[in-house]
Chains A and B, each alone.
Chain A
Amino acid sequence: MKSIADIKAIRDKMKGQINLRDNKDADTETRIVVGMATCGISAGARPVFNAFVDDIASRQLKNVKVTRTGCMGMCALEPIVEVHVPGEEPVTYVHVDAEKARKIVANHIVNGNVCTEYLIGDNK
């Protein structure tokens, strides 16, 4: 059985990176916010959250945080994801699934191109 103590290697690796990061402005962090109320969960928000976590970990992206929030008020469009890139307007994606989440990471977070096909305007 694996135990918490096994995390030491990851901790030691991350510690140096985190210290470097703390010196930077906190405003440089990209935030991915996944709606995680009953409506979001039943529409499939949990695999979306986990796909973001997986992809960001495997690409070793720094300064990107995945977080969750409650109901965003448009339950029929869940799973809803907001991407906050510092210095840019927040972007709202609707009907997101795990595959779309990986595309959002590749196109929007890594390359800076908003995935316009998943925006709310095209899904009304």
Chain B
Amino acid sequence: MRELALNILDIAENSVKAGATLIRISVKAEGEELRIEISDDGCGMDAEFLKRVTDPFTTTRTTRKVGMGIPLFKMAAEMAGGSFSIRSEKGVGTTVTATFLRDHIDRAPLGDLSDTVVTLIGGECKSEFVFEVSVDGKGFVFDTRELKAELDGVPVGEPEVLVFVRDMIKENMIDIGGETL
């Protein structure tokens, strides 16, 4: 994974698979710290599975025995002087939080968040998303429920709609100074 936005896509995909109705993704850069949090109201995990979930040889998949998504995100945070935590409760949901030292030499760039947003909200996804991005106090929020209300029946997954959303996120990232994050 070369970009943290790819990790976000990967982790949020777990939330979709967990049957979440609402997934909140927050990217916050404040002072020295960059903080990324993905929280969902999906099926959650029991305490026993939660303990093993950062182990690359833990997965819910039955076709093979490795699951790299969470370990890779944890590694990205820890090698950049940050921390990683995951909280989960069966039937309630899961929250994954990673922090990074913004100026650490080994911190991966945030990368293209707009591509990640489009990939998540496109593709017949039943989950709703709230993206919250802020850089040193300036920020924006993008909520797919607001988008759906505005679209009035036109599907979110229509390519022309997705292109609009990507341009909007890109523009907003530049406005808040987040494009170089």
Contacts of A34 in B (CB 8 A): 123
A50 CB-CB contact with B under 8 Å: yes
Interface size on B (CB < 8 Å)? Answer: 44
Cβ–Cβ contact A11 & B61, under 8 A: no
Q: When the two chains form the complex, which single residue of B10, B154, B163 contacts A11, counting CB atoms closer than 8 Å?
A: B154
Contacts of A10 in B (CB 8 A): 154, 160-161, 164
Bound: A7/B146 CA distance, A: 11
A24 CB-CB contact with B under 8 Å: no
Contacts of A110 in B (CB 8 A): none
Bound: A73/B61 CA distance, A: 11
Cβ–Cβ contact B115 & A57, under 8 A: no
Chief secondary structure at chain B's binding surface? helix
As a 0/1 sequence over residues 21 to 55 of chain A, the CB contacts with chain B under 8 angstroms (1 = contact) are 00000000000001011110110001101101110
Cβ–Cβ contact A38 & B17, under 8 A: no
Q: When the two chains form the complex, which single residue of A18, A37, A50 contacts B13, counting CB atoms closer than 8 Å?
A: A37
Cβ–Cβ contact B119 & A68, under 8 A: yes
Q: When the two chains form the complex, which single residue of B10, B147, B150, B172 contacts A41, counting CB atoms closer than 8 Å?
A: B10
Most chain A beta-carbon contacts within 10 A, residue among B6, B9, B123, B167: B123
Cβ–Cβ contact B142 & A67, under 8 A: no
Cβ–Cβ contact B150 & A7, under 8 A: yes
Contacts of A53 in B (CB 8 A): 118, 122, 159, 162-163, 166
Contacts of A18 in B (CB 8 A): 153-155, 158
A124 CB-CB contact with B under 8 Å: no
Chief secondary structure at chain A's binding surface? helix
B151 CB-CB contact with A under 8 Å: yes
Cβ–Cβ contact A50 & B166, under 8 A: yes
Bound: A54/B163 CA distance, A: 7
Contacts of A60 in B (CB 8 A): 160
Q: When the two chains form the complex, which single residue of B123, B153, B160 contacts A67, counting CB atoms closer than 8 Å?
A: B123
Cβ–Cβ contact B123 & A46, under 8 A: no
Given known pairs A2-B172, A41-B1, the reply for A46 and B162 (CB within 8 Å) is no
Instruction: Output the least CB separation between A111 and chain B (Å).
Output: 19
B116 CB-CB contact with A under 8 Å: yes
Most chain B beta-carbon contacts within 10 A, residue among A10, A39, A41, A58: A41
